[in-house]
Each structure stands twice: as structure tokens, then as C-alpha cells.
């Protein structure tokens, strides 16, 4: 019963190859002065597009993703709260508790304080 998987794999390889070949054959080939320049919404670029960004930016992005996903899970739970009953309520309390503990840990370790350098762990 392995043949359906092999047929599917062969079809995917064929489809990807066909799309690449057709895009190469039909794609435009031009070389203008602005071809390799970064496009900034019609604004003339100033300097390189490879700018170094502070680690704080990435930390804020990770915090946003974590707590945004928390909101998504809580909205899904709120939609099914009657079907889940007390077991679902206990599970969502555990979920929020773990995230709250993570937030307290981040706060105590100085990850949320941008005015001073982070503490080194021992």
C-alpha cells in the first residue's frame, strides 16, 4: 500500500518541475539599472537594504507572537467553552498560568527592561 504515496510524490515533483520550467520559459529577461535595487514603495532608497537591527526588535517580535497566539487559543476556547466544561476551564487556567509564569520570568530576568543591559546568568 505504498504506491499511493509514491504516485502523490511523483505528481508533486512533476507539478513543481512544470511550474519552474514554465516560469523560466515565459519569464521576462531584462537588465535595467534598477533591476537589483530594493523597492521601497516608490520611495528612492537611502543606503543598503541590509541594515543591522537590534536584538531588542527580535525579542519584541517573539513576545508578540507568543502572546498573540495566546489570544488565538483563548478565543478558540471561548467559542467552545460550553462543550469543554470544567475540564476545559482547568486546562485554560493551566495554559494561562504557564504563560503568566513565563511573563514573570521575563520580567524578573530583565528581558522587558530596555534601559539597562541584561543580566548575565551564572
9 has a pLDDT exceeding 80: yes
Determine contact, residues 92/74, Cβ cutoff 8 Å: yes
Q: Which of 75, 56, 63, 66 shows the shortest CA–CA distance to 113?
A: 56
Class of CATH domain 61-109: mainly alpha
The pLDDT of 81-98, averaged and rounded, is 92
Per-domain boundaries in the chain: 61-109
**pTM of the full structure:** 0.50
pLDDT of the residue at 121: 59
* Cα–Cα distance, 102 to 105 (Å, whole number): 5
How far apart are the C-alpha atoms of 97 and 89, rounded to whole Å?
12
Task: Give the cell for residue 52.
Answer: 543591522
Query: CA 56 from chain center: how many Å?
Result: 16
How far is residue 20's CA from residue 30's CA, in Å, rounded to a whole number? 18
How far is the C-alpha of 110 from the C-alpha of 104, rounded, in Å? 10
Q: pLDDT tens digit string along 36-78?
A: 766 667 777 677 767 777 777 888 888 888 888 888 888 988 9
Higher pLDDT residue, 32 or 70?
A: 70
Torsion 89-92-98-104 (CA) sign: negative
Q: Given pLDDT bands bounded at 50, 70 and 90, which one contains residue 109?
A: confident
**Given this model, what pLDDT does residue 23 score?**
92
Amino acid at each position: 500500500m505504498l504506491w499511493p504515496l509514491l504516485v502523490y510524490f511523483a505528481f508533486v515533483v512533476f507539478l513543481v518541475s512544470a511550474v519552474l520550467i514554465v516560469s523560466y520559459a515565459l519569464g521576462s529577461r531584462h537588465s535595467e539599472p534598477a533591476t537589483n535595487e530594493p523597492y521601497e514603495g516608490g520611495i528612492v532608497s537611502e543606503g543598503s537594504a541590509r541594515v543591522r537591527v537590534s536584538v531588542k526588535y527580535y525579542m519584541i517580535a517573539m513576545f508578540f507572537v507568543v502572546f498573540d497566539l495566546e489570544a488565538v487559543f483563548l478565543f478558540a476556547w471561548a467559542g467552545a467553552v460550553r462543550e469543554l466544561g470544567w475540564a476545559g476551564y482547568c486546562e485554560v487556567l493551566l495554559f494561562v498560568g504557564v504563560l503568566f509564569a513565563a511573563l514573570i520570568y521575563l520580567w524578573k530576568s530583565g528581558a522587558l527592561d530596555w534601559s539597562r543591559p541584561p543580566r548575565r546568568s551564572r
